[in-house]
Structure 1
Amino acid sequence: MFKKTVGVILSAGLVMAPITACSSNSDSASSPAASGAASPASSASTAPSTSSTAGAELQPEKGAVLTLWEDKEAKQWATEVAAAFKAKYNVEVKIEEVPAPDQAGRLTTDGPAGTGGDVVLFPQDKLGDAASAGLLLPNDVFAKDVTARSQKNAIEASTYKGTLYGYPKSVETYALFYNKDLVPNPPKTWDEVIAFAKIFNDEKARKYAIMWEVKTLYYDYAFMAPYGAYVFGGKGTDSNDIGLNNSGAVKGLTFMQSLRSILPPKVADLTFDIKTQLFADGKLAMNIDGPWSIGSFKDKINLGVAPLPDLPEGKKSVSFSGVRSYYVNTYTKYPKAARLLANFLTSKENQLSCYQKTGILPANQEVANDSAVKADALSSAFLTQFASSEIMPSIPAMASVWAPMEGAVTSIWDTNADVKSTLDSAAKTIKEQITSGKK
């Protein structure tokens, strides 16, 4: 359902594009009338209270018609929810299929032009740019209800500079996929992985015990964070404090570098497509991947999913995780109706139906604890790993991190480069890019 989401999120070019757009449109976003564009809705005039009572009393604007931008995987579900919303509020909702990672970028132009979705959906790493550009209305009517029903990490991920903007829909992280026919019992430690690899690996036949996208910080972070590494200080909010070259980062990547002994290919041969094919063909026993790939394997192999193996010294792997939330477009003509829709989409009933129809992992904590979800071993494994995850920073400076770290990790893996000096160089580049972007 989220196939290649990570590739989209982590591609430097795709990440930078919407950020540049946000920057270039920030002026027009604050004064759309100058160009004849749509005027932003007034948050103060339409949302006087954050109480549940205010939410219950909120009524849609007369004649409101909304557009919802939704991912392909959930379009059919959203269509059914839209029909239920119309039955309740007499507001028509049109569904437009737009990939979630692309929506924030499109909103920078379509929002001020008056052609954007009234309610949109995107991952939390886009939130900082969208909020800074004035593209989103705060979640100020249903904040208490949404906070109470959502997982804590999901609320934090949907909040920027102390303001809750999002209505969390789904959570995602990565875990250990394994072929039950090759690995009846998933390893609990990396020592077990290494021992298995020595028996299973056959490089000439392209058979490997385990793979992940080595060049990508998104996955490598699981080796670093347990030892004290971090991207930015202040829980991901202080871009002046970079923790990707501290002693914990060095220790974690030094261990990862040692795994070249059981995974000899260079990073160019450790891509999403290559490992997906090898795993589907039964030549890869274990694959670190996310819920977006379940559909690629469920009918091809005897699939199992487990939390990531523990690192040396008994350290629990801390995966990066993401949250997709609905947001209300500042430029909507119907801010009351749009708020009602965003809240309606993320109710317990609708999140449960979304999970049942799509397999998308819910951000709603009641749904996550529902017996139907817990009974699914694959979903339960991801939710267990999510509990040991860390939300990716959502500040705009995050865009400056991916490419320098990809270059650093490639050198560390492919050429056995010195970990400390390579990470120092990457951190310096990240800092320079952040500083340059602030000018």
Structure 2
Amino acid sequence: MKKNLLLMMLVLLLAMLAACAPDRAEEPKPADGKDVAEEPKPEKLVIWEDVDKSKDWLPAAIESFEKEHGIKVEFKELNMADKIRDQLRLDGPTGNAPDVVTLPHDQIGQVVTEGLLQEINVEDSVLKTYSESSITAQMYDGKLYGLPKATETPVFIYNKALMEKAPETMDELYTFSKDFTKGGNYGFLALWDNFYFAHGAIAGMGGYVFNEGAEGLDRDDIGLNNEGAVEGAAYIQKWYTEGLFPKGIIGETGGAAMDGLFNEGKVAAVMNGPWAFQGMRDAGVDIGIAPMPKLPNGEPVKTFMGVKGWHVTKFTKNPYWATKLIEHLSNDENSKARFEAVSEIPANVALVEDPIIADNEGAKAVAVQSQYAVPMPNIPEMGEVWGPMASALQTVATGKSEPQAALDEAVKSIKTNIETNHPAK
């Protein structure tokens, strides 16, 4: 009886202690799953931001984070396209790496494979802040490695002095161009020998880079020479063979040639990205901006979408607080401030209807076009696609090869390079 009584008293005592204990399930957890109490606040966190992208917004965002959490934050500017990744490779092993970096999403697969970034864990309420496609772009191998800060995709830009309004379809644009293209003037230009831009027509006709499998992108399922891709390449070739595109916009100098012609008032419309807006305005061109017209098959031009993100490095000693920092940097308030400062379109869904986006012609066009855009594949094997596709498109554009033969050769090269440089796990 005494043993039973003691047992009952022990059970009662444990129940009382459990009732008085804090609810552990509701306490925030850092990225590695440890309790916050196990990761004390650091004295300082360090951010690497892109060059010329911090002025007029980042200091204020840092100040509000410091005030809320009592953690000092410093930042440094490095070129995002290559310098951040390259410097992280050097500084990581020496203990000089930052806690947070910004990178384009198509680099995620490679830097994760190299052990430079770590997975982050955030609440569903945070994920719902951003568009689904922008979150998908921040994932690799089914895991989340960042939060989006800006999206970009090519759109239709026209000179209002030469074109009254943006056409609804590419058929309308083709008819306009046939009439307008003469005497050194062109109705429409696009860098369609560059796969970044050509993807819009190829994917819109039914081609694809890597098919989406159950576990993510399938590197062995390449759709760049299927029926739709060939149809898209043939459509691209049509603009070149009929003289609607000048020979000078093929190859590495094509972009500069196209920009020069447009800024001189010799081109009515171009396909280009939001990075080109300001240069056009500085040249004195009154530009109109719209989503790309629909293809002859009635489908939208499925442009590539790039998503810039905030990421937690593998080398930080404070993954929980670094994650909190990137949540803060990419929240609605700071994303809006960043857009006002640098004009890069945020991925925050709440801001699409905000007047600052809705009343901005360029931002609205990018936001609408992004609904049809495809995030550039972020697996390392994507690096093997650009070269062969550029070669194929240039032979198609110059009439040296027919679309099917050119794309067959490109896919053959892509598969060989993948097998050579990316051995299967």
Q: TM bucket by the smaller chain?
A: 0.7 to 0.9
Q: What letter corresponds to residue 238 of structure 1 in structure 2? A: D
Match of 2:158 in 1: 178
Correspondence 1:432 to 2:416: yes
Q: Which amino acid in the other structure matches residue 230 of structure 1?
A: Y
Which contiguous aligned blocks of 4+ residues in structure 1 show a shift greater than 4 angstroms? 57-60
Q: Structure 1 residues 46, 192: CA separation in 2 closer, same or farther (over 3 Å shift)?
A: closer
Determine the structure 2 residue equivalent to 1:134.
115
Among 233, 243, 246, the alignment partner of 1:264 is 246
Q: Which amino acid aligns with 1:265?
A: K
Kept in 2: contact 1:348–1:366 (CA 8 A): yes
**Residue aligning to 1:280:** 263
CA offset at residue 313 of structure 1? 2.4
* TM norm structure 1: 0.84
Letter in 1 for 2:418: I
Where structure 2 has 5 or more consecutive residues not aligned to the other structure, the ranges are 1-28
Map residues 18-417 of structure 1 onto 2, 5 A cutoff: 46-47=30-31, 61-76=40-55, 77-102=57-82, 103-140=84-121, 142-203=122-183, 205=184, 207-234=185-212, 237-260=217-240, 261=242, 262-266=244-248, 267-268=250-251, 271-299=254-282, 300-417=284-401
Contact 1:69 1:120 (C-alpha < 8 Å) held by counterparts = yes
Residues in 2 aligned to 1:406 and 1:211: alpha-carbon distance in whole angstroms = 17
Q: What letter is aligned with 2:254? A: T
1:59 to 1:288, Cα distance in 2 relative to 1, 3 A: farther
Separation in structure 1 between the aligned mates of residue 155 and residue 31 of structure 2, nearest angstrom: 40
Task: Name the Cα RMSD after superposition.
Answer: 2.2
User: Could you tell me how far 1:197 is from its partner in structure 2?
Assistant: 1.6
Matched length? 388
Q: Secondary structure at the match of 1:72?
A: coil
Deviation at 1:46, TM superposition (A): 4.2
Structure 1 residues 177 and 159, CA gap change in structure 2 (3 angstroms): same
Per-residue deviation, residues 81-110 of structure 1 (Å, max 9, x unmatched): 122222222222222111222223332222
Contact in 2 for aligned 1:139/1:167 (Cα 8 Å): no
Shift of 1:248: 0.5
**CA–CA distance in 2 between the matches of 1:88 and 1:46?**
17
Distance 1:96 1:426, change over 3 A: same
Output the CA distance in 2 between the equivalents of 1:112 and 1:200: 58
Q: Deviations over 1:128-167 (max 9, x none)?
A: 0111222212111x24233111100011000111111111
Matches of 2:373 and 2:236 in 1, distance apart?
18
Shift of 1:270: 6.1
Q: 3-state DSSP class of the match of 2:93? A: helix
Using the TM superposition, name which of 223-232 and 58-67 deviates more: 58-67
Q: How far apart, CA to CA, are the structure 2 residues paired with 1:82 and 1:268?
A: 43
Deviation, structure 1 residue 419: 0.7
Give me the whole-angstrom Cα distance separating, in 1, the residues matched to 2:43 and 2:233: 53
2:42–2:318 contact (8 Å) kept in structure 1: no
The AA in structure 1 aligned to 2:232 is G
Deviation at 1:315, TM superposition (A): 2.1
- The structure richer in helix per residue is 1
On the 8 A contact 2:49/2:76 being kept in 1, the answer is: yes
Residue 189 to residue 47, structure 1, CA distance change in 2 (3 Å): closer
CA separation in 2, counterparts of 1:270 and 1:197?
23
Task: Report the TM-score when normalising by structure 2.
Answer: 0.86
What residue identity is the alignment partner of 1:264?
P
Once the two structures are TM-superposed, the CA of residue 380 in structure 1 deviates from its matched residue by 0.5
Cα distance in 1 for partners of 2:195, 2:52 equals: 26
Change (3 A) 1:106 1:48: closer
Deviation (angstroms), 1:269: 7.9
- C-alpha separation between the residues in 1 aligned to 2:187 and 2:275? 21
- State the shift of 1:355 in Å: 1.3
- Measured in 1, the distance between the counterparts of 2:164 and 2:39 equals 54
Match of residue 10 from structure 1: none
Which structure has the bigger radius of gyration?
A: 2
Unaligned runs of 5+ in 1: 1-44
Answer whether contact 1:67 1:118 (CA < 8 A) is retained: yes
Look up the SS of the partner of 1:84 in the other structure.
helix
Contact 1:214/1:270 (<8 A) preserved: no
CA contact (8 A) 1:70 1:98 kept: yes
Preserved CA contact (<8 Å) 1:178 1:287: yes
What is the Cα deviation at residue 218 of structure 1?
A: 0.8
Instruction: State whether residues 158 and 270 of structure 2, in contact with CA within 8 Å, keep that contact through their aligned partners in structure 1.
Output: yes
- Against the structure 1 CA distance between its residues 168 and 268, is the aligned structure 2 distance closer, same or farther, given a 3 Å change threshold? closer
Give the structure 2 partner of residue 32 of structure 1. none
Q: What amino acid is the match of 2:247?
A: P
Report the secondary structure of 1:268's partner residue: coil
Structure 1 pair 269/154, CA: closer, same or farther in 2 (3 Å)? closer
**Cα separation, 1, equivalents of 2:42 and 2:247:** 60
Residue identity opposite 2:44 in structure 1 = V
Q: Give the secondary-structure state (helix, strand or coil) at the position aligned to 1:209.
A: strand
| Counterparts of 2:38 and 2:101, CA distance in 1 | 20
